[in-house]
Amino acid sequence: MARSSILGYPRIGEKREWKQTLEAYWSGKADEETFRDRMKEIRLARLRKLQASGIDLIPVGDFSEYDHVLDTAAMFGLVPKRFDYQGGEVPLSIYFGIARGTKDAAASEMTKWFNTNYHYIVPELDGASPTLTENRPLRAYLEAKESLGIEGKPVLLGPLTFLRLSKGYNPAETDVWLDKLLPLYEQVLRELEQAGAAWVQVDEPALVKTADPQDRDRLRRIYGRFAEAAPRLNVMLQTYFESADDYEAIIGLPVRGIGLDFAHGRDANLAALRLHGFPSDKVLGAGVVDGRGIWRASLAEGCKLLKELARFVPSDRLFVQSSCSLLHVPVTVKGEDGLPEALKQALSFADEKLEEIALLARAADLGTDAIEAEMRASEAALRALNEHETRNRKDVQAAVTAIASQEGRRGRTFAERQPLQQAKWQLPLLPTTTIGSFPQTADVRKARQLWRKGEWSKERYDGYVREQIDKWVGLQEEIGLDVLVHGEFERTDMVEFFGEKLAGFAFTRGGWVQSYGSRCVKPPIIYGDVAFEGAMTVEETTYAQSRTSRPVKGMLTGPVTIMNWSFVREDIAREQIAYQLAYALRQEVEALEAAGIGLIQVDEPAVREGLPLKREAQADYLTWAVKAFRLTTCSVRDTTQIHTHMCYCEFHDMLGSIEAMDADVISIETSRSHGELIHHFESQSYPLGIGLGVYDIHSPRVPGTGEMTAMIGRALQALDPALFWINPDCGLKTRGEEETIAALRNMVEAARAMRLSVAASV
């Protein structure tokens, strides 16, 4: 009999109770005991929901108080040296300090979880001696069993993936580190076996990336030792986000189950099954329901896939499950009554996916007749959306076809443009600027809420936004910044703001997902053809420019980032969606330029995160992603300076593509990774304007001038001072006013000191 399973479930709660609990603790409104009690309530509430859903294998241990990778590091006592850790279970103060920084210690690096918009905290192994401080999966298993009678499936991040995600060691030391970690993993598994756990899910998503030739031996060693340590414990080796790269090696491992993604790696995984078969002594965890997409499953296609899988594995050795954790989708469609009916009926969030998994598991046992009515309903809903007029705009499709045939090149090269721009703007050496947003205080959020509720008129709200612009233009001038921004006080989110002004988008009321820590985002839904409907940013930007003699940057979000940070339609290629967005944003760029704005920033922080996990698919993606950016920006005058911004990804392997975007200035995160990107510029030149972020805006600490000066000094050893800009890592929306002003004052002081230093060295 087929069993139903999921790999993980959202942490945040239907009303973001998790976020509220975290922030109450951080702000001092809740003590540690209250915090822990409330977190337990949230954990148990989500388990009760899963219990009531009828899912057979309920994951436990996937819940986290911040991030599951950080949890694994803390479980093994891997605390960076700069924190005052004395051993034993990691205290909350240090746990959150690693994630967010403290007054005296910088936070650990944060970067993207594979090709998703979730961020994890990067473990630091340098000089560490791992030890088992607590058995987190065991604690979660016992809590579910003792509190609710749930025989849960503990979830554990596998050792190979954990090492691939870590820093502070030479890759040549991988086997040395495995020798350190494996005894700790073995103890975790032994204790789970002794407690009566039947299954444990060991996540190894690193196995979908291009395999290291030595990984075959490593995997045999890892999972052979696991089998010896806990022979009665059934290990489900779980892959996701793509097809398993070395399928033949994986199916030969001494584990009880293999989990494969048939949503995002369907074709390659099926091809591997056809070529190599599936072992008769193993369970197949078939990820047939997309765990990171929001669209209703085609139950007919799901049944067709299960029929194909039945050729290789009988139903009594089949887990019908989500393709990955449901962490990446909102909790429920329930309550989304403001959406177009055709769209709402075609959506499936976490709770709805539980129903789809259960239905498909039933069909695997009883045949398609058992779910015939539900199959008809799913097909009708998907058909109605595909036939909707918003997906069939011939005017948009024709215009985008025409623009996509262009190369997207500016009239002159950067080397020719740069002196023209400098002559126009007369900026000093090492010009200072910010990334775009300033603090969105409680008052700013309240004003927006009052306007959205209709309690404030548009005139009153617009007046309030202008007051904030006046305040922060004045502050920027007083601080001494060279290129100003208007502050983005009218914007809720850098993607949502533009989506609300473009055709083809829809917005949920409660469709929140976790991005990092307590930061939750509500991604727009691109469900139709995207079209420009009028100027989106001109009013606020030109108002800010009217209040100062210094240049003000126009601020836009780029086409690839809007796409990658939205839930997107699946009936056309992502490349075509990117070009639709590029065409719409190009019209906004032209509107800004026509209004007298001569510096325009088109942010693309999410280009890297959309990079396919398979190496062979990356070049094609980068080609059209770069082209989408250039189509957005190529029509401006030579003296109009195009900026872009990227953050919190590993960019060293795509510097050529970044250069090909042909932005006059790129600002890029470096401080959270402690300046590591600078190392790559020491061996690979960058001939365009660049600003490497000199302080981390995701931490509440205010870095000193000396700290920033050191960062700038190191960068200038590798980069041309004549092309170098000084800026924070990212926007300042989430920071407090006092810390923002203090940090920017230090940044400007550091820039002035470095100007004198550079001038003296010439």
33 annotated as belonging to a binding site for a ligand = no
Q: Does 324 carry a binding-site annotation?
A: no
Nearest of 628, 465, 476 to residue 558 by alpha carbon = 628
**Annotated binding-site residue? 101:** no
- Beta carbons within 10 angstroms of residue 461's beta carbon: 17
Judge contact between 699 and 98, C-beta under 8 A: no
* 143 known ligand binder: no
Structure tokens given for 87: 């051993």
Calculate the dihedral angle through the C-alpha atoms of 442, 447, 451, 457, rounding to the nearest 10 degrees: 170
Does 634 count as an annotated binding residue? no
698 annotated active-site: yes
Q: Got the DSSP string for 46-95? A: HHHHHHHHT-SB-EES---SS-HHHHHHHHTT---TTS---SSSPPHHHH
Residue 520 marked ligand-binding: yes
- Residue pair 567/524 in contact (Cβ under 8 Å)? The answer is yes
Give the pairing type, strands 257-261 and 283-289.
Answer: parallel
Is 173 labeled as ligand-binding? no
How many Å apart are CA 482 and CA 691, to the nearest integer? 14
One-letter identity of residue 533: E
238: left (phi over 0), alpha (psi -120 to 50) or beta: beta
Q: What is the 3-state secondary structure (H, E, C) of 111-132?
A: EECCCCCCEEECCECCCCCCCC
CA distances from 506 to 309, 341, 498, 535, 558 (A): 36, 11, 11, 19, 18
Is 713 a known ligand-binding residue?
Answer: no
Structure token digits, residue 228: 């010896």
**Nearby residues of 293 by Cβ (< 8 Å), 6 or more positions away:** 263, 329, 567, 570
Strand partners, 724: 690
SS3 of residue 367 by DSSP:
coil
- Distances in Å between the alpha carbon of 256 and those of 2, 96, 102? 15, 36, 43
- 3-state SS string over 202-262? EECHHHHCCCCCCHHHHHHHHHHHHHHHCCCCEEEEECCCCCCCCHHHHCCCCCCEEEEEC
Q: Say how far apart CA 138 and CA 335 lie, in whole Å.
A: 36
Instruction: Write down the residue that tokens 């959306």 correspond to.
Output: 385
In this structure, what token pair is assigned to residue 501? 């002004």
Contact 8/327 with Cβ under 8 angstroms?
A: yes
* Residue 42, Ramachandran bin (φ over 0: left; ψ between -120 and 50: alpha; else beta): alpha
Q: What's at 236, amino acid-wise? A: M
Q: Any binding-site annotation on 387?
A: no
Give the rounded distance of the alpha carbon of 352 from its chain centre. 23
Nearest to 602 by CA among 629, 624, 565: 629
Contact 671, 694 (CB under 8 A): yes
Ligand-binding annotation for 222, yes or no, is no
Contacts of 20 (CB under 8 A, 6+ apart): none
Rounded-to-integer distance, Cα 615 and Cα 613, Å: 6
16 assigned ligand-binding residue: yes
| Residue 647 marked ligand-binding | yes
Which residue is associated with the tokens 């006059």?
A: 664
What is the CB-side half-sphere exposure of residue 619 using CA atoms within 13 A?
1
Give the single-character DSSP code of 653: G
Residues 68, 264, 643, 698: which is the catalytic one? 698
Task: Please indicate if the annotation marks 301 as binding a ligand.
Answer: no
Give the residue ranges of the annotated binding site for L-homocysteine. 435-437, 488, 603
Give the residue ranges of the annotated binding site for L-methionine. 435-437, 488, 603
- Catalytically active residues are 698
Give the residue ranges of the annotated binding site for 5-methyltetrahydropteroyltri-L-glutamate. 16-19, 112, 519-520, 565, 609
Give the residue ranges of the annotated binding site. 16-19, 112, 435-437, 488, 519-520, 565, 603, 609, 645, 647, 669, 730
Give the residue ranges of the annotated binding site for Zn(2+). 645, 647, 669, 730
